[in-house]
Copies of this chain bind each other. A is one copy, B any other.
Amino acid sequence: MSSLRPTLPGSAYTDPSTFDSERERIFEANWFCAVASTDIPKAGTFRTVTVGRESVLITRSRTGEARAFLNVCRHRGAMLCTEPAGEVRRTFRCPYHAWSYDLDGNLAGAPHLPQMPDVNRAELGLHTVHLREWVGYVWVCLAEDPPSFEDSVMASVAARLGDLSAVDRYGIDGLALGQRITYDVAANWKLVIENFMECYHCATIHPELTGVLPEFAQGWAAQVGVGHGALMGDKVDGFTVDGSEGLGRLPGIDDEQDRRYFAATVLPQVFLNLVPDHVIVHRMFPMAPDRTVVECDWLVEPSVVGAGTDISRSVELFDRVNRQDFDACERCQHGMSSRSYRSGGVLVPTEHHIESFHTWVRTQLGEFVSVPSGEEGAA
């Protein structure tokens, strides 16, 4: 295989109709990591999030199960909840005509309803969205017939880390939210994915990260090699902005996981970052061809939050990495509409695996794609 492999053409990152197709065929068709389970701690607490072209209302039922619905009243189409987060007691009551829905989405009542004996309430519940809770997050799927969660989300994490027990040992669903930072990135979501998939840029833009993980300066992706985790430098004491000591080691991880950074991409919109003392989760929300909102969570042991321990040096490391990456993505977005990038750019050997992401995108969009020979497709 040649040293240089082709990328997608520039129009894939700017064309509004491509973005519309992606929202329909990728973000509304696959499992989408919407909110943290702790964002809806008890019955009636809710969040609203944008998934593809839809506003989705996510709440917890009286029996403690997470539920997701299209955030639209069945009567005249009013948006039920316009706030990003909140809490109701027993029902979501539409503020327009007072149609109300219980926490399972059933139509609980409406003015005049008793005078309409022919109306079948069961047909007037909120539109339900498929939902799974896993590793402390609520994943939703807008497809009528979702792909297997095990064969898609879980399989891609297992493929990256070797097996699922590797991630289980971090006990993510028992961690607490140490900090959340939201980034509004003026770039196509695929640029954000591609950036995360390669480390050829690390030596150029990530001085703090390569300081802590010296092998990243070589340019090989964190995700190259099944089960590989980048080793911290000899004189590094922790995964912090200055390499100083971090928090206590998570209790469940084994010695091979200690002092290492593992990363996994769950297409289409999650990055999972595992380090000995915390876990970082990125969720991406594509808003426009040239705009992606990224919500990044730093998860730590509950005792760390309880004790009010200072986690700022831990947070600052990846916050800097994020800003450095997103600046680069925005710089690329500017070039995507140039005739110079009309047929795309090139991937060097340390970036070749990005080609499998491109194949995945094209396949999702229903384009005929001949998989490049010699590629195994390990996203």
Query: Which residues of chain A have a CB within 8 Å of any CB of chain B?
Result: 2-4, 7, 10, 53-55, 70-79, 82, 95-98, 110-112, 115-119, 124, 126-127, 194, 200-201, 203-205, 219, 328, 331-332, 334-341, 344-350
Contacts and interface: CB of A to CB of B under 8 A. Distances in A.
Nearest to A331: B78
A10 B331 contact: no
B118 A53 contact: no
Contacts of A74: 340, 345-346
A337 B111 CA distance: 25
A204 B98 contact: yes
B328 A95 contact: yes
A201 B110 CA distance: 11
Task: Please give me the 3 A-B residue pairs with the lowest Cβ-Cβ distance, nearest first.
Answer: A3-B116, A77-B335, A79-B334
Query: Helix, strand, loop or mixed for chain A's interface?
Result: loop
B349 A53 contact: no
Given A112-B348, A340-B72, A118 B201 contact: no
Contact of A96 (B78, B332, B340): B332
A3 B79 CA distance: 23
Given A112-B200, A334-B82, A75 B346 contact: yes
Nearest to A93: B204
A203 B111 CA distance: 9
A3 B335 contact: no
B77 A339 contact: no
Contacts of A201: 96-97
Q: For A119, A127, A205, A338, which residue has the most chain B Cβ atoms within 10 angstroms?
A: A338
A110 B203 CA distance: 12
Given A54-B340, A76-B345, A112-B349, 4 more contacts: A54-B339, A77-B336, A111-B200, A112-B200
A4 B119 contact: yes
Nearest to A52: B339
14 contacts: A3-B116, A3-B119, A10-B77, A53-B339, A70-B339, A74-B346, A75-B345, A77-B340, A78-B328, A97-B200, A111-B204, A112-B350, A116-B349, A124-B346
A349 B116 CA distance: 9
B97 A204 contact: yes
A23 to B, nearest CB: 11
Contacts of A78: 328, 331-332, 334-335
A55 B334 contact: yes
A73 B97 CA distance: 49
A78 to B, nearest CB: 4
A77 B340 CA distance: 8
Given A77-B332, A345-B74, A96 B3 contact: no
A78 B119 CA distance: 58
Nearest to A194: B76
Contacts of A119: 3-4
Contacts of A75: 345-346, 348
